[in-house]
Amino acid sequence: MAQRETWATRAGFILAAVGSAVGLGNVWRFPYQVGEFGGAAFLVVYLALIAVIGFPVILVEFTVGRYTDRNPVGALKQIGTGSWQRIGWVFVLAGFVILSYYSVIAGWVLQYTVYGLQGNYAADGAAQFGATTGGMMSVLTHAIFMAAVIAVVGFGIQRGIEFSVKLMVPAIIILLAGLAIYAGTLPNAGEAYAYYLSPELGTIAANWTSILPAAAAQAFFTLSLGMGVMITYASYLGEDRNLAKDAVIIVGLDTAIAFTVGLVAFPVLFSGDLAVADIVAIGDGPGFIFIALSQAFSNIPFGSVLGAVFFGTVTIAALSSAISIMEVVVSYLIDERGVDRVPATLLIGTVIFLFGVPVAYDGSLSWLTVYDELANNILLILGALLLAIYIGWVKTDLGLEELGKGIRNLGGWGTAWIWALRIPVVVTLVVILGLNAIGAYEAISGILG
Ligand code: PHE
Ligand code: NA
């Protein structure tokens, strides 16, 4: 068998991980949640959870990946005993399902980039969104996006993923910074900043039972955790570097970029004739970026150009995330089944495309909800929880030894890491999983019944 691939440079690994982290989660979930859950107060909770939950879990995925040099299924087979050997499947399954609809949404983002280029954002954002989703056009944009994912992943770790993220990640940062500066000149920017940045402690006190799980779920999704992406990417690391340092850079950049998106989105919304109540009423996720934001772009100076740049940037961000999910599944076929990269990528890409077709074709978004509830709210949390329990409580020595390889005096920090996994991570994830299971049951039975 050919030698397993590795990253060419340290920067390559970090940029690939940042590319994975920065995606639709930063754009369509983050600003809305900040707004809905009390502005800067949500930010404080979110940052605390990133530190206490997100950071320890990203380190678990990194250590498991680097220790085993394997995809998630192979990695758990290698270090696991008994039924633990099988938890790698949760990751691969989650990746498979999530990519199938992530690509559909990315296809809509592509379509909205084209609307911008055509000067075509509608004053009635809801009607335009309704016309965009569902039907053959939506299947087509899904196909175009998946083809791009297949192309990048097919070229492999160095010539495909590493090469492309070196272009994509700087482009995302530069374009967003430019947009944020322009957004600051819009007429209602001051009012928007006040809404986005001033903590409303009353809101947080009244809603903390919903804020905590929302912030934790956001922290997981935005850092690409629970899907084995970070296991897989770390498995291509050759040497023993300081994983904690890399994690700080990755988490820091993802958070900074999410924050910057808010600096673009809120001035645009507030200057585009939308009030806070309208924005909240339109809802999160799809509604936020496709309805509220695009409608606002139709109302502000140079809105079409701005919108094209914005949605173009989001397309790039979605692509650099989608390739990381695809790589999880492809690496499984390469490592465990001995399939060559190109046929593995074509096969997986095609199957995931087909799996996403119902989501793309169905304009009611019901399929999207079902996929999203199952994969994002259940599988992703479950995978992370099981892995945190396994390393935190069972394979503690393995974790500490591997993390310690690139860190000279791990000592008390290592103990703190293990205890963070044992109690705060496990407790939070169990609570979220419970709440999400109830939510998923209600959402799905609502759709079916
Ligand atoms: N982190 C990505 C985002 O913010 C989503 C993602 C989740 C990507 C899990 C890969 C794995 O959009
Ligand atoms: Na993210």
Burial label, 3 (beta-carbon count in 10 A; 0-12, 13-18, 19+): exposed
Question: What's the pLDDT at 261?
Answer: 93
Residues near 418 by beta carbon (within 8 Å), at least 6 away in sequence:
392, 396, 399, 400
Q: DSSP character for 159?
A: I
Highest mean pLDDT pick, 28-42, 166-180, 376-390, 432-446: 166-180
Closest Cα to atom 9, ligand 1: which residue?
Answer: 224
Q: Give the alpha-carbon dihedral of 115, 116, 120, 121, to 10 degrees.
A: 100
Helices then strands, each counted (H, E), the chain: 25, 0
Taking the complete model, does pTM exceed 0.90, yes or no?
A: yes
Question: What's the pLDDT at 440?
Answer: 82
Q: 349 phi and psi, to 5 degrees?
A: -60, -45
Work out the angle between the directed axes of helices 341-361 and 135-154 (0-180°, nearest 10).
Answer: 160
Distance of alpha carbon 193 from alpha carbon 204, whole angstroms: 19
Mean pLDDT value of segment 234-241: 88
Please compute Rg for the chain using Cα positions: 21
- Residue 106 region, left (φ>0) first, then alpha (ψ -120 to 50), else beta? alpha
Question: What's the pLDDT at 43?
Answer: 81
Mean pLDDT value of segment 188-197: 88
Six-digit token string for 245: 């340092």
The atom number, within ligand 1, closest to the CA of 324 reads 10
Distance of alpha carbon 296 from alpha carbon 125, whole angstroms: 9
CB atoms within 10 A of CB 122: 17
Q: Which residues, judged by CB distance below 6 Å to any ligand atom, belong to the binding site of ligand 1?
A: 20-21, 23-26, 221-222, 224, 227, 229, 321, 324-325
Q: 447: pLDDT confidence band, cut at 50, 70 and 90?
A: confident
Pocket test of ligand 1: the residue of 27, 33, 221, 261 to mutate, having most ligand atoms within 8 Å of its CB, is: 221
Q: 134 phi and psi, to 5 degrees?
A: 80, 160
Distance of alpha carbon 100 from alpha carbon 102, whole angstroms: 6
Ligand 2 centroid distance, CA of 337 (Å): 31
* pLDDT tens digit sequence for 62-94: 999 999 999 999 999 999 989 999 999 999 999
Residues near 175 by beta carbon (within 8 Å), at least 6 away in sequence:
309, 312, 313, 316
- Lowest mean pLDDT segment, chosen from 82-96, 300-314, 365-379, 402-416: 365-379
Domain ranges across the chain: 10-364
Question: What's the pLDDT at 2?
Answer: 63
Six-digit token string for 259: 């924050």
Six-digit token string for 398: 């393995």
Mean pLDDT value of segment 58-62: 97
Q: 409 phi and psi, to 5 degrees?
A: -115, 75
Q: What is the mean pLDDT of the chain?
A: 91
Which residue, chain included where needed, has tokens 């949500």?
42
Identify which of 251, 217, 247 has the alpha carbon closest to the alpha carbon of residue 30. 217
Q: DSSP character for 8?
A: S
Q: Which ligand is nearest to the CA of 254?
A: 2
Question: What's the pLDDT at 327?
Answer: 98
Ligand 1 centroid distance, CA of 322 (Å): 8
Mean pLDDT value of segment 232-251: 93
pLDDT at 409 over 70: yes
Ligand 2 centroid distance, CA of 439 (Å): 23
Expressed in angstroms, the distance from the first to the final Cα of the chain is: 51
Q: Which fold is adopted by the domain 10-364?
A: Amino acid/polyamine transporter I (1.20.1740)
* 3-class secondary structure, 212: helix
